[in-house]
């Protein structure tokens, strides 16, 4: 934590690029929120959001595998967040994901730079909410949300963990393999559970009564 704040004013080209991305995402999010008239933060939504965040957090403590620079394989800890986004839409899903990302940091965060913190925690888990962009097929939704999270980890790996790449290995390839190794397994577990009829039926039921 101390080192993260010591680097607060180290504006390298990489961190300036990330600041630009964060600004674009922030502005885009504000515009999206302003233009969207369908999002109503009901009591039902808040209750389900709290339950999904809690369930994901509990599942994240069960680690089937762990990599040295961060990244774990869990029994579908992302799935409750993905289901919430499918039930209530991308905006509530992203907001819930941001909160869950902060919990992931406090649980066992691995931070080498303040900008990397944003990429690997609030943004990465927040983009799980993109699963709500496609709500007709849970497996497809799972991979959309997983791709959103993977993109942030992939960028973080290229920018901040290049030194760990084996000699002669392109940094992008190293980040792809490293992040894909644990996240790919996690996604497959989530997809295998999401395909169950019981999960699909529950999701559809809550989605159909989301505004009550």
Residue-level pLDDT at 1: 46
Q: Is 84 within 8 Å of 49 (Cβ atoms)?
A: yes
Q: Is the pLDDT of residue 75 over 50?
A: yes
Q: Is 53 within 8 Å of 82 (Cβ atoms)?
A: no
SS3 for the chain, per residue?
Answer: CHHHHHCCCCCCHHHHHHHHHHHHHHHHHHHHHHHCCCCCCCHHHHHHHHHHHHHHHHHHCCCCEECCCCCEECCCCCHHHHHHHHHHCHHHHHHHHHHHHHHHHHHHCCCCCHHHHHHHHHHHHHHHHHHHHCCCCHHHHHHHHHHHHHHHHHHHHHHHCHHHCCCCCCHHHHHHHHHHHHHHHHHHHHHHHHCCHHHHHHHHHHHHCCCC
Residues 6+ apart with CB under 8 A from 173: 165
168: left (phi over 0), alpha (psi -120 to 50) or beta: left
Domains belonging to the chain, first-starting first, are 2-208 (1.10.1760.20)
- The arithmetic mean of pLDDT across residues 116-127, rounded, is 91
> Which carries the bigger pLDDT value, residue 204 or residue 34?
204
- CA–CA distance, 161 with 66 (Å, rounded to integer): 17
pLDDT digits (tens, 9 = 90+) for 6-27: 444 455 555 555 555 555 555 5
CA torsion sign for 136, 138, 143, 146 is positive
Residue-level pLDDT at 124: 93
- The residue among 122, 84, 123, 126 whose CA lies nearest residue 106 is 122
pLDDT digits (tens, 9 = 90+) for 27-69: 555 555 555 555 677 788 888 999 999 999 999 888 888 877 7
- The arithmetic mean of pLDDT across residues 179-185, rounded, is 90
Instruction: Report the greatest alpha carbon distance in the chain.
Output: 57
Threshold 0.85, pTM exceeds: no
- The arithmetic mean of pLDDT across residues 91-119, rounded, is 87
């Amino acid at each position: 934590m101390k080192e993260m704040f010591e680097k607060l004013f180290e504006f390298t080209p990489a961190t300036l690029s990330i600041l630009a991305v964060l600004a674009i995402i922030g502005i885009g999010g504000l515009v999206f929120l302003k233009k969207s008239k369908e999002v109503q933060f009901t009591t039902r939504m808040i209750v389900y959001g709290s339950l999904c965040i809690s369930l994901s957090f509990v599942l994240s403590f069960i680690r089937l595998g762990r990599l040295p620079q961060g990244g774990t394989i869990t029994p579908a800890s992302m799935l409750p967040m993905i289901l919430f986004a499918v039930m209530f839409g991308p905006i509530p899903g992203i907001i819930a994901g941001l909160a869950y990302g902060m919990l992931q940091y406090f649980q066992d965060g691995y931070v080498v730079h303040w900008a990397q913190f944003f990429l690997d925690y609030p943004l990465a888990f927040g983009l799980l909410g993109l699963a709500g962009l496609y709500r007709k097929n849970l497996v497809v939704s799972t991979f959309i949300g997983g791709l959103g999270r993977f993109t942030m980890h992939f960028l973080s790996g290229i920018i901040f963990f290049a030194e760990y790449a084996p000699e002669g290995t392109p940094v992008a390839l190293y980040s792809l393999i490293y992040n894909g190794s644990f996240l790919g397994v996690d996604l497959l577990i989530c997809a295998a559970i999401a395909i169950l009829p019981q999960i699909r039926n529950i999701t559809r039921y809550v989605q159909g009564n989301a505004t009550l």
